Structure 1
């Protein structure tokens, strides 16, 4: 992916489809449309997956809570969503095995009746997962549960129910979709902010007016069809195209807190089935840390990037602590992150906790804008298929969708033992070699090969984690990382697991990325100061202090 080349294409070519928003749904649409033979442009006002698509709970699932609510309320829409999620789960796992893998989850229970209840529920969940390869659920004894998660409260624990879902690195999975779309011919560019549309004589959109935020240059991209995939910000784009449209999105804020892995000491995740506000909360191992979330708070969606605050931190720890033998103190939280869910609401009186995570394709007859509204990560491919099926009506075509079998960038000829070759060839420590294989897949050797050109790139970004400086060079050169945060928050995931270590890493990462991207001393200083301010704001919010 070369940004300069893509921007030049945006300026000079006419596209069949221009997609606004390069999160999971937009990237999925771009790949699907490109594979069907359309000439596609994909843009985002920030980095790829910089909003909702990098702030998920990292689960690929049908939704056990949706299943429970479906039976309690006889809600067939909830059942349909569970079925769609479980149908897509195995596709997400299969198409990028380096970025997605099965995850065992344990639900601790305090009585025989609770164990029976969840065991029956999860067996029904298993039944909905047709043509799936994940192991089926089991009712475990107390001893079996403690063998898997040794830090649980022994006095409270009666038994537990084990089941399986999938886990993914959401930001890198989205990037793999973008890379795959680019390799299928899509012109992709981050940091392109839409400022308006051009219209033909009938009032239908025929161009997208935008500003390149890196250069402040204005440009207008010609396109026969525009698709709005901006998630929680969909209404902004819809109203830009047609101010008479009613608002459809009810954003909901969800946050996660990140703790040291040792507090759970397990490669199993835990589902906490009861919370004070009627949600479920997950405690999940991720990137050598323990991630707990999520919350559900209504928001207007127009504020700054959501972040973890002290009230939310306390809520999450108060939810987790009753299940642990030794209580976690609030000072042990290392980091956290927040995102906005793009919930689709027809009834403004409903709370966001009752809204479906389903999707809808809207066609504005006046402007011609196509909007993909709502949805969730697991069903991104189905959402994209439905969107491009609708888009094809504009072109009077009906091509087959092939994304269910399309192996994503980095998964070509991927071998789970690739890390051993990387370790031996480049004399790397095992944790580094495993990390490279799991994030770059079959392209990990290309990252490690940079060490031969510059041995200094073998150094770790942080002594506590397996990320190395060669990745900063590679991501700037091949993955369109153009800011420090692009790399540290989304290409690798250091920001979401450790704020302090991210701060400490900034000078060395800035030096490597600066050399690749031609930054002078002033730009390296600016990049470092801007990102430092973001991190310190997160830390301040989480501690309850004011700057």
Structure 2
């Protein structure tokens, strides 16, 4: 993906569809549309997956909580959401096997009655998953549970119910969608902010008036149709297109914190089924850490970045601690992050915790804007399909959706043991070889080749992690990285797992980016200092 080339295309070509927002739904729409033969542009005011789509719990799931609520409240909307999620789960796993994989989750229980309850519930969950081959749930005894998660409190533990869902690297999965769209002909560019719309005499949108957020240069993108995929910010774009529309989105804040891997000391995740506010919380191994989340609180202020605060940190720790033999100490916090859910709310009196994570495609007849509203990561492909099906109707020609079987960038010919090929061919350590294979899939050799050509690029960014300098160069040249945070937060996931090592790695990352992008010393300092200040604020808010 070349940003300069894409910006020139945005300014000079006429597109069938311009998609605003390069998160999961927007990138998914771009890939779907371009595979159907449309001429497509995909833009975002920040980086790919810079908001909600990089701040999920990293699960691919139907939603155990939704299933429970569906039966307790006879809520068929919840049941439909579970079915959709489980139908899509196997597709998300199949289409990017390097970025998504099965995940075993343990539900600890304190009595045989609890064990029976969750066994029945998770057996029903299995029955809804008719299209995949994940192992079925099973009720394990105390010894079997402790063999898998040894840090649990053996005095309180009775047994546990094991079930399977999926896990993904959300930011890189979104990037793979954008890369795949680009490789099929879409013009893809980050840091392009929408300022308004150009309309014809009937009030229909015929151009997107935008600006390059880096240079400030105005960009006018001519198009036949615009699709709004901006998640929690959807109402802003909708009202920009038609001020008479009513708001539809109820943003909800969810936070996660990252602790050392030895908190669970396991590759098994954990579902905590009982919380003080009626949610479920997950503790999940991710990138060498144990990630705990999430919360659900009303959020009216969406312009400022949501961050983990002390109260939320204490809530998550208090939720996990009763299950652990050794309680979490506040000093163990390594990182944290917050995100906004774009919840659809027909009833403004309902709490965000009771809202279903379903989606809706809205066509505004006055402006012609299509908005893809609501939804969640697991169903991104279905959401995109529904949106592009609506675009087909507007365009007057039904076309076939091809995304169910489209293998994303890096997934081509990928094998689970491909890290061994990287290790043998390039002589890199095992942990680095495994990391490259999991992040870049069948394209890992492109990064490893850079490291072989320049020995300095083989060096680690942090002695505690498998990330290497060659990845910075590769990301700038091939993944449209333009700021240090693009790389450290989303191309690798260091920001959300280890704040201290993010700060330690920042000078080297800034130096490598400056060399690739031709920054002056002042420009390099500006980017590095601004990012360091952001991390410092995250630390202050959480501690």
TM-score (norm 2): 1.00
The Cα of 1:154 is off from its aligned counterpart by 0.6
Q: Which residue of 2 aligns with 1:408?
A: 408
Does 2:160 align with 1:160? yes
The Cα of 1:453 is off from its aligned counterpart by 2.1
State which drifts further: 515-524 or 59-68: 515-524
Q: Which residue of 2 aligns with 1:335?
A: 335
Give the Cα separation in 1 of the matches to 2:83 and 2:175: 26
1:151, 1:263 within 8 Å by CA — same for their partners in 2? Answer: yes
The Cα of 1:514 is off from its aligned counterpart by 1.3
Give the Cα separation in 2 of the matches to 1:452 and 1:163: 42
Give the Cα separation in 1 of the matches to 2:124 and 2:210: 49
Q: Encode CA deviations 1:80-106: one digit per residue, 9 max, x unaligned.
A: 000000000000000000000000000
Matches within 5 A, 1:296-375: 296-375=296-375
Give the Cα separation in 2 of the matches to 1:406 and 1:451: 30
- How many aligned residue pairs are there? 543
Q: Which residue of 1 aligns with 2:273?
A: 273
The Cα of 1:446 is off from its aligned counterpart by 0.5
Give the Cα separation in 2 of the matches to 1:178 and 1:458: 27
1:58, 1:167 within 8 Å by CA — same for their partners in 2? Answer: yes
Does 2:33 align with 1:36? no
The Cα of 1:521 is off from its aligned counterpart by 1.1
Secondary structure at the aligned position of 2:134 is classed as: coil
Q: Which residue of 1 aligns with 2:287?
A: 287
The Cα of 1:452 is off from its aligned counterpart by 2.4
Does 2:106 align with 1:106? yes
Matches within 5 A, 1:244-263: 244-263=244-263
Q: Encode CA deviations 1:474-525: one digit per residue, 9 max, x unaligned.
A: 0000000110000000000000000011001111111111111111211111
Give the Cα separation in 1 of the matches to 2:417 and 2:135: 22
Matches within 5 A, 1:99-138: 99-138=99-138
Q: Which residue of 1 aligns with 2:183?
A: 183
Q: Which residue of 2 aligns with 1:140?
A: 140
The Cα of 1:395 is off from its aligned counterpart by 1.0
Secondary structure at the aligned position of 2:496 is classed as: helix
RMSD of Structure 2 on Structure 1 (CA) = 0.6
Q: Which residue of 2 aligns with 1:462?
A: 462
Give the Cα separation in 2 of the matches to 1:10 and 1:290: 42
Q: Which residue of 1 aligns with 2:433?
A: 433
Secondary structure at the aligned position of 2:87 is classed as: helix
Give the Cα separation in 1 of the matches to 2:365 and 2:60: 34
Secondary structure at the aligned position of 2:166 is classed as: strand
The Cα of 1:303 is off from its aligned counterpart by 3.4
1:233, 1:301 within 8 Å by CA — same for their partners in 2? Answer: no
Give the Cα separation in 1 of the matches to 2:414 and 2:132: 21
Q: Which residue of 2 aligns with 1:66?
A: 66
Q: Encode CA deviations 1:272-329: one digit per residue, 9 max, x unaligned.
A: 0000000000000000000000000101143311000000000000000000001111
The Cα of 1:21 is off from its aligned counterpart by 0.1
Give the Cα separation in 2 of the matches to 1:189 and 1:300: 29
Q: Which residue of 2 aligns with 1:527?
A: 527
Q: Encode CA deviations 1:324-368: one digit per residue, 9 max, x unaligned.
A: 001111111110000000000000000000001000000101000
Matches within 5 A, 1:5-84: 5-84=5-84
Give the Cα separation in 2 of the matches to 1:200 and 1:482: 35
Q: Encode CA deviations 1:106-130: one digit per residue, 9 max, x unaligned.
A: 0000000000000000000000000
Secondary structure at the aligned position of 1:412 is classed as: coil
2:432, 2:466 within 8 Å by CA — same for their partners in 1? Answer: yes
Give the Cα separation in 1 of the matches to 2:375 and 2:328: 34
2:452, 2:458 within 8 Å by CA — same for their partners in 1? Answer: no
Give the Cα separation in 1 of the matches to 2:303 and 2:363: 27
Secondary structure at the aligned position of 1:497 is classed as: coil
Q: Encode CA deviations 1:239-295: one digit per residue, 9 max, x unaligned.
A: 000011000000000000100001110000000000000000000000000000000
Matches within 5 A, 1:186-225: 186-225=186-225
Structure 2 gaps, min length 5:
none
2:258, 2:292 within 8 Å by CA — same for their partners in 1? Answer: yes
Give the Cα separation in 1 of the matches to 2:263 and 2:53: 27
State which drifts further: 413-422 or 123-132: 413-422
Secondary structure at the aligned position of 2:410 is classed as: coil
Q: Which residue of 1 aligns with 2:173?
A: 173
Give the Cα separation in 1 of the matches to 2:132 and 2:449: 37
1:250, 1:343 within 8 Å by CA — same for their partners in 2? Answer: yes
2:484, 2:506 within 8 Å by CA — same for their partners in 1? Answer: yes
Matches within 5 A, 1:487-526: 487-526=487-526
Structure 1 gaps, min length 5:
none
Give the Cα separation in 1 of the matches to 2:288 and 2:216: 39
